Amino acid sequence: MLMSASFVFSMSGCGSSSGSTTASGADKVTTEIVTEATTAEVTENEKTEATTGNKFLPDTTIPELSIEKYEIPDNEGLRFVHDMRVGVNLGNTFDAYIDGSSLKNDMDTETAWISTKATQETIKAYHEAGFDTIRIPVSWHNHVSDDYTISEKWLSRVQEVVDWAIDDGMYVIINIHHDNHLEADGFYPDNEHLDKSKHYITRIWEQLSERFKDYDEKLIFESMNEPRLVGHQYEWWYPANTAVVKESMECINQLNQVFVDTVRASGGNNAVRYLMCPGYDASPDGALDAAYRVPEDSVGPEHHIIISVHAYTPYDFALNTNGTRDFSVKNKKGTGDIDSFMEKLYQKYIKDGTPVVIGEFGAVDKNKNIQERVDFAAYYIASARARGMTALWWDNSAFSGNGESLGLYYRIGGYFVYKDIVDALMKYVDMY
């Protein structure tokens, strides 16, 4: 998220956020989040009530929208993003990590932030609900040995879940997620750590490229999640005229280029695979600033580099747990913030034929402000689709507590707690 000059809101446990009052993903989700999925036992009666209309939540109305469709250039990359429709993140799962702990088994990190493992039923439930794309964020640094060699067990487990989604016909995004802090011994986008960071990015993507090189184009690689100066005063700000941030943005450009070069050199379908590359914080401002460079791609087909952004916008409604609970399509409360950043992305990228994917968005629950969240979901996805983009909700399986409650699907019970939000997304995804 970008503050002031650019306020970047991010939560990457979920991923993190971004941009000039345009938040990025949900990266700050930690093990302190308490979810119903960690404690509750769900009876068959509860599941039936939640899925048959006898809901725990008040009824809602999906707003009627008439957002004019923008002129979208006709190229392969933009058609590809259009076909991705709408997506969801498998958050707080493979992205979870525990540093400085004495885990007896690194495989236990999958349930370090929530109590249940990913299942094939969960993947199918997302797809059946209408989500055609799933982002599977993965942190690797707890699962590497000498020279960043990935644990075979961990990589095979990630592949298993990828296969479930691919076999079900979904688009899948995998990435390097929470490896961007000094304790992780992964990457850090400043000059001091640049050579080491390039080596880390190269080694991880060499191995992922080899493992997945025969998968078709529905598998998408994303270089990094919300690259930024973790722990710095400008971690979630993007004052582009600040020397330290300029340096970091240049490092991010170089790391994105290393990612593209490594994947393309691996052969197989990786020579033509779609690749996603973020700017600072993955915020819209980070990608819109002149300091951000789209990586050169002399090997891959034209328009196969996708700009990756995260935007929990408007921040005070969508991500700030102490902010407003109000959003209204009828009264245009909050809609202008969404229009503003999406319009800038359209003008800079989409209009010129460069695809954009909003890899994380969502709005936290604030004392069951379900109608406001339904309005938000409908307006957000309609606005994105009208401008030729797609967006993926950050589902972190969190439903209670004081953290960022962005969960949609209750994995233990096997049902959507917020099906009204899902319905709002699906109503408008195919109107454009």
Tell me the pLDDT tens digit for each residue of 177-222: 999 999 999 999 999 999 999 999 999 999 999 999 999 999 999 9
CB of 304 closer than 8 Å to CB of 47: no
17 pLDDT exceeds 80?
no
pLDDT at 403: 85
Number of alpha carbons in the 13 Å side-chain half-sphere of residue 364? 32
Residues in contact with 322: Cβ distance below 8 Å, sequence separation at least 6, in sequence order: none
Provide mean pLDDT across the span 369-398: 98
Token code pair at residue 243? 């020397």
**Residue 321 is which amino acid?**
T
Token code pair at residue 217? 């184009």
Percentage of the chain modeled with pLDDT above 70: 87
* DSSP code at position 7: E
Residues in contact with 85: Cβ distance below 8 Å, sequence separation at least 6, in sequence order: 130, 131, 132, 133, 390, 429, 430
In 279-333, alpha helices (H): 284-288, 315-318
pLDDT at 58: 85
Q: Convert the pLDDT of each residue in 149-159 to its tens digit.
A: 999 999 999 99
Catalytically annotated residues:
177, 226, 360
Using pLDDT thresholds of 50, 70 and 90, give the confidence band for residue 104.
confident
CB of 140 closer than 8 Å to CB of 110: no
Helix (H, G, I), strand (E, B) or coil at 327: coil
- Identify the structural domains of the chain with CATH numbers, from first to last: 2-429 (3.20.20.80)
Provide mean pLDDT across the span 312-325: 97
Q: Could you give the CA distance from residue 259 to residue 358 in angstroms, rounded to a whole number?
A: 19
- Alpha-carbon separation of residue 373 from 116, 129, 325, 425 (angstroms): 26, 18, 9, 11
Token code pair at residue 418? 């917020």
Task: At 325, give phi and psi (nearest 5°).
Answer: -100, 5
Residues in contact with 362: Cβ distance below 8 Å, sequence separation at least 6, in sequence order: 14, 26, 312, 318, 319, 393, 394, 395, 406
297 pLDDT exceeds 70?
yes
Q: Convert the pLDDT of each residue in 46-83 to its tens digit.
A: 444 444 344 568 899 999 999 999 999 999 999 999 99
Q: Convert the pLDDT of each residue in 221-274 to its tens digit.
A: 999 999 999 999 999 988 888 999 999 999 999 999 999 999 999 999 999 999
Token code pair at residue 236? 């979630």
**Residue 201 is which amino acid?**
I
301 pLDDT exceeds 80?
yes
Residues in contact with 203: Cβ distance below 8 Å, sequence separation at least 6, in sequence order: 147, 148, 149
Provide mean pLDDT across the span 423-429: 97
Cis omega before residue 355 (within 30°)?
Answer: no
CB of 398 closer than 8 Å to CB of 405: yes
Which residue, among 266, 190, 183, 185, has the nearest Cα to 221 in the 3D structure?
266
CB of 221 closer than 8 Å to CB of 275: yes
Q: Could you give the CA distance from residue 362 to residue 29 in angstroms, rounded to a whole number?
A: 14
CB of 97 closer than 8 Å to CB of 109: yes
The residue written with tokens 């938040």 in the block is 23
pLDDT at 100: 80
